[in-house]
Amino acid sequence: MNSDEISGIVFDCDYIVEGNKPLVRVFVKDAKTKQNIVLHDSSFCPYFYVVPYLYLTDEQAFLLKKKIELFEHDDISGTLKVKSVKEEEKTMGLQKRRVFRVECFIPKEVPLLKAHLEKEEEIEGFREYDILFYKRYLIDRNIELFRQMHFKVHHEKKTGRFFVDSIKADKNSPLVDFSLFRWLAFDLETIEESGKTKIIFASIVDSSGCKTVITCYRNGYEHAVVVEDEKSIIEKMGEIIKKQNPDFILTYNGDNFDFNVLEDRAKTFGIKLQWSSIGENFTYFSKGARKKAQCFGLVHIDIYKFVFSIMRGTIKSETLKLNNIAKELLGDEKKDVSYSDISHAWRTKTNLSKIADYCVHDSVLTLKLGEHIFANLSSLSNLVCQLPFDTCRASYGTLVEAFAIRKAHEKNIIVPNKPSNEEMVKRKQKGMFKGAFVYSPKVGLKKNIALFDFRSLYPSIIITHNIDIDTINCKCCLKTAKKKNKVPDYDFYFCQKQKGFIPSILEEIIFLRVKIKKIIKETRDTKMLKKLDAQQYALKIVANAFYGYMGFAGSRFYDYRAAVSTTSFGRHYIHKVIEEAKEEGFRVVYGDTDSVFLSLPKKNMKKINKFLDHINNSLPGIMDLEYEGFFTKGLFAQKKHGEGGAKKRYALVDENGNIIIKGFEKVRRDWSVLARQTQEKVLELLLSDKTEEAKNYVRDVIDKLKTKKVPIEELVINTNLKKSISSYEQMAPHVMAVKKAIARGMKFKGGQNIAYVVTAKGKSISDKAQLAEFANDYDSQYYINNQIIPVVSRIFEAVGVQELSLTDNSKQKNIFEY
DNA sequence: TATAGGCATACGAACATTATCTA
DNA sequence: TAGATAATGTTCGTATGCCT
User: Helix, strand, or coil here: A99?
Assistant: strand
Give the C-alpha separation, A613 to A817, whole Å. Answer: 54
Instruction: State pLDDT tens for residues A757-781.
Output: 999 998 899 999 999 999 999 999 9
Alpha helices (H) in A307-456, listed in sequence order:
322-330, 339-348, 352-384, 388-391, 396-410, 421-429
Pairing state of beta strands A36-41 and A161-169?
parallel
User: Helix, strand, or coil here: A624?
Assistant: coil
Shared domain for A619 and A687, answered yes or no, is: no
The terminus-to-terminus CA distance of chain A in angstroms comes to 94
Residue A176: name the closest of A306, A29, A13 by CA: A29
Q: Alpha-carbon dihedral of residues A262, A264, A268, A270, nearest 10 degrees?
A: 60
Going from the C-alpha of A584 to that of each of A75, A570, A604, A622, the distances in angstroms are: 78, 21, 14, 24
E-strand stretches of A532-690: 587-592, 595-599, 625-638, 645-654, 659-662
Shared domain for A163 and A182, answered yes or no, is: no
- Residue A307: other Cβ atoms inside 10 A: 22
Alpha helices (H) in A188-229, listed in sequence order:
none
Shared domain for A460 and A595, answered yes or no, is: yes
On whether residue A793 sits in a domain, the answer given is yes
| C-beta within 7 A of nucleic chain B, residues 522-541 of A | none
The answer to which of A278-282, A348-352, A684-688, A693-697 has the lowest mean pLDDT is A348-352
Domain at A746, CATH number: 1.10.132.60
Q: Residues A597-618: what's their mean pLDDT? A: 97
At CA A334, angle to CA A332 and CA A335, rounded to 5? 125
CA A549 to C1' B17, whole Å: 50
On whether residue A523 sits in a domain, the answer given is no
Residue A224 belongs to what H/E stretch? strand A224-226
Strand B nucleotides with an atom less than 7 Å from a protein beta carbon: 1-13
pLDDT at A815 over 90: no
Q: Are the CB atoms for A631 and A655 separated by under 8 Å?
A: yes
Instruction: State pLDDT tens for residues A392-405.
Output: 999 999 999 999 99
DSSP assignment of A431-489: -------EEPPPSEEEEEEEEEEETTHHHHHHHHTT--TTTBT-STTTTHHHHHSB-TT
CA A634 to C1' B19, whole Å: 46
pLDDT at A811 over 50: no
pLDDT at A220: 66
Domain end marker among A627, A654, A681: A654
On whether residue A756 sits in a domain, the answer given is yes
As to burial, measured by CB atoms within 10 angstroms (0-12 exposed, 13-18 middle, 19+ buried), residue A113 is buried
pLDDT at A295 over 60: yes
Shared domain for A284 and A135, answered yes or no, is: no
| C-beta within 7 A of nucleic chain B, residues 381-400 of A | 395-398, 400
Portion of chain A with pLDDT greater than 70, in percent: 97
Residues paired with residue A91 on neighbouring β-strands, in sequence order:
A96, A413
Give the C-alpha separation, A318 to A700, whole Å. Answer: 26
pLDDT at A1: 54
Shared domain for A218 and A285, answered yes or no, is: yes
On whether residue A282 sits in a domain, the answer given is yes
CA A730 to C1' B16, whole Å: 22
CA A727 to C1' C14, whole Å: 12
The answer to which of A32-41, A673-682, A805-814 has the lowest mean pLDDT is A805-814
Give the C-alpha separation, A777 to A760, whole Å. Answer: 7
How many domains is chain A partitioned into structurally?
A: 5
Q: Residues A415-444: what's their mean pLDDT? A: 95
Shared domain for A701 and A787, answered yes or no, is: yes
pLDDT at A669 over 90: yes
| C-beta within 7 A of nucleic chain B, residues 762-781 of A | 764-767
On whether residue A61 sits in a domain, the answer given is yes
Instruction: State pLDDT tens for residues A490-530.
Output: 999 999 999 999 999 999 999 999 999 999 999 999 999 99
| C-beta within 7 A of nucleic chain B, residues 424-453 of A | 424, 432-436, 438
Give the C-alpha separation, A665 to A734, whole Å. Answer: 18
Q: Are the CB atoms for A666 and A686 separated by under 8 Å?
A: no
Structure letter (DSSP) for residue A718: E
pLDDT at A568 over 80: yes
pLDDT at A481 over 80: no
On whether residue A216 sits in a domain, the answer given is yes
Burial A5-41 (b: 16+ CB within 10 A, else e): ebebbbbbbbbeeeeeebbbbbbbbeeeeeebeebbb
Dihedral sign, CA of A175, A177, A182, A187?
A: positive
Residue A23: name the closest of A117, A133, A102, A122 by CA: A133
Shared domain for A121 and A221, answered yes or no, is: no
CA A426 to C1' C13, whole Å: 25
Give the C-alpha separation, A415 to A398, whole Å. Answer: 14
User: Phi and psi dihedrals of A625, rounded to 5?
Assistant: -90, 135
pLDDT at A299 over 70: yes
pLDDT category at A407 given cuts 50, 70, 90 is very high
E-strand stretches of A687-795: 717-721, 752-758, 769-771
Shared domain for A130 and A231, answered yes or no, is: no
Give the C-alpha separation, A794 to A635, whole Å. Answer: 11
Going from the C-alpha of A771 to that of each of A250, A715, A742, A744, the distances in angstroms are: 32, 12, 11, 11
Shared domain for A133 and A147, answered yes or no, is: no
Residues paired with residue A127 on neighbouring β-strands, in sequence order:
A49
Domain at A163, CATH number: 2.40.50.140
Query: Whole-number mean pLDDT of chain A?
Result: 93
On whether residue A723 sits in a domain, the answer given is yes
Shared domain for A155 and A91, answered yes or no, is: no
Q: Residues A212-225: what's their mean pLDDT? A: 82
Give the C-alpha separation, A301 to A248, whole Å. Answer: 7
- Residue A489: other Cβ atoms inside 10 A: 14
Q: Are the CB atoms for A408 and A322 separated by under 8 Å?
A: no
Burial A576-599 (b: 16+ CB within 10 A, else e): ebbeebeeeebebbbbbbbbbbbb
CA A682 to C1' B20, whole Å: 42
The conformational region for residue A331 under phi > 0 = left, psi -120 to 50 = alpha, else beta, is: left
pLDDT at A448 over 80: yes
Domain end marker among A383, A414, A440: A383
Rg from Cα positions in chain A? 31
pLDDT at A817: 47
pLDDT category at A478 given cuts 50, 70, 90 is confident
Q: Which domain holds residue A695?
A: 667-817
CA A311 to C1' C8, whole Å: 46
Nearest nucleic acid nucleotide to A664, CA to C1' distance = C18
Shared domain for A197 and A119, answered yes or no, is: no
Q: Residues A595-612: what's their mean pLDDT? A: 97
CA A779 to C1' C4, whole Å: 33
pLDDT category at A338 given cuts 50, 70, 90 is confident
Residues paired with residue A446 on neighbouring β-strands, in sequence order:
A634
pLDDT at A818: 37
Shared domain for A151 and A119, answered yes or no, is: no
DSSP assignment of A775-791: -----HHHIIIIIIHHH
Nearest nucleic acid nucleotide to A663, CA to C1' distance = C18
Residue A735: name the closest of A714, A715, A716, A720 by CA: A720
Going from the C-alpha of A249 to that of each of A181, A191, A205, A213, A281, the distances in angstroms are: 11, 23, 10, 16, 13
Domain end marker among A350, A367, A383: A383
Q: Are the CB atoms for A533 and A527 separated by under 8 Å?
A: no
User: Phi and psi dihedrals of A811, rounded to 5?
Assistant: -85, 130
Instruction: State pLDDT tens for residues A83-138.
Output: 999 999 999 999 999 999 999 999 999 999 999 999 999 999 999 999 999 999 99
Instruction: Considering any atom of strand C, list protein residues whose CB lies within 7 Å.
Output: A 313, 436, 453, 457, 592-595, 648-649, 661-663, 667-670, 718-723, 727-730, 732, 734-735, 810
On whether residue A51 sits in a domain, the answer given is yes
Question: Which distant-in-sequence residues (6+ apart) come within 8 Å of A807 by Cβ?
Answer: A813
pLDDT at A554: 96
Domain at A277, CATH number: 3.30.420.10
Give the C-alpha separation, A169 to A10, whole Å. Answer: 10
pLDDT category at A807 given cuts 50, 70, 90 is very low
